[in-house]
Copies of this chain bind each other. A is one copy, B any other.
Amino acid sequence: MLVVKVGGSGGVDLERVCRDVARLLKRGTKLVLVHGGSREMDEISQRLGCPPRFVTTPSGFKSRYTDRGTLEIFVMVMAGRVNKLLVERLQAHGVNALGLSGLDGGLVRGRRKGTIIALENGKKRVLRGDYGGTVEEVNTSLLRLLLAEGYTPVVAPLAIGEESEPLNVDGDRVAAALAGALEAEALIILSNVPGLLKDPADEDSLIPKVPRAEARRYLERYAQGRMKKKLLSAIEALKGGVRRVVLADGRTETPISRALEGQGTLIE
């Protein structure tokens, strides 16, 4: 069983991903898909007059400030638009996809952070009322129930908090948690780059392999921007019991199959 993370649409070729999912299912490979959707979120927020607000945490991660209004747009875009249009595409390829958010059936339980520490012009600032969260627990029995009946779960990056509130959680981290909880053979994280690059500006500088013991060193040395969270998620997944993680290119003809053949950055 595989867990595959795909970006919402920015760069990843969803049509090819869906075709590849259908092919793998026919060969008997079961999988769970997790998606993102930041690009759609930014676009719809903008159109609704709530432009996105990003902050940089002291540890260097970029984070979306999510007040209740932003959260409700996030829920709508992620669990509605991105999730169901992906389900539509998969169904069109004969995959009996079933979309869920972390709220549904308590699929992904999270903890709300409540405040974000933002670094602004070198100064720390505390932002309250945030609905971002971390992943704490996965309802694996629900996923196994659906997989056993032939459904392909498609999961939106939301968790349910302690007060049943939806939480904005990072899609890569959700994928890592699901992969660990399900003891997946592999976690494949697709994006619009070939994998971890020595030089982010040079796609030919791919690092083909990262030994798991050195993953954190590679993270600190080479990962920039979104790639930091991807490597962090890889480390979490390996800790959770996943055998291997591949950071792979989502733009190729058969993105998942290629990742399984070892194309991309293999972390194990």
**Distance between Cα atoms of A58 and B151 in the complex (Å):** 41
A105 CB, nearest partner CB in chain B, Å = 4
Query: In this assembly, does A79 line the interface, its C-beta being within 8 Å of a C-beta of chain B?
Result: yes
As for how many copies of this chain the complex holds, the number is 2
**Distance between Cα atoms of A153 and B151 in the complex (Å):** 16
Contacts of A79 in B (CB 8 A): 79-80, 83-84, 99
**Distance between Cα atoms of A88 and B158 in the complex (Å):** 12
Contacts of A164 in B (CB 8 A): 88-89, 91-92
Closest to A150 in B: B105
A130 CB, nearest partner CB in chain B, Å = 17
Contacts of A48 in B (CB 8 A): 44, 47-48
Query: In this assembly, does A132 line the interface, its C-beta being within 8 Å of a C-beta of chain B?
Result: no
A96 CB, nearest partner CB in chain B, Å = 6
**Distance between Cα atoms of A80 and B83 in the complex (Å):** 9
Contacts of A165 in B (CB 8 A): 88
**Distance between Cα atoms of A142 and B49 in the complex (Å):** 39
Which of A97, A101, A163 neighbours the largest number of chain B CB atoms within 10 Å of its CB?
Answer: A101
One of A69-77, A215-223, A254-262 contacting the partner: A69-77
Contacts of A101 in B (CB 8 A): 84, 87, 99
Q: Which residues of A contact B (CB under 8 A)?
A: 44, 47-49, 72, 75-81, 83-85, 87-89, 91-92, 96-101, 103-106, 141-142, 145-146, 149, 151, 158, 160, 163-166
Q: List 27 A-B contacts (CB under 8 A).
A: A44-B48, A47-B47, A47-B48, A47-B49, A72-B85, A75-B81, A75-B84, A76-B76, A76-B80, A76-B84, A77-B80, A79-B79, A79-B83, A84-B101, A84-B103, A84-B158, A87-B101, A88-B103, A89-B164, A91-B106, A96-B105, A97-B104, A97-B105, A99-B100, A100-B104, A105-B146, A105-B151
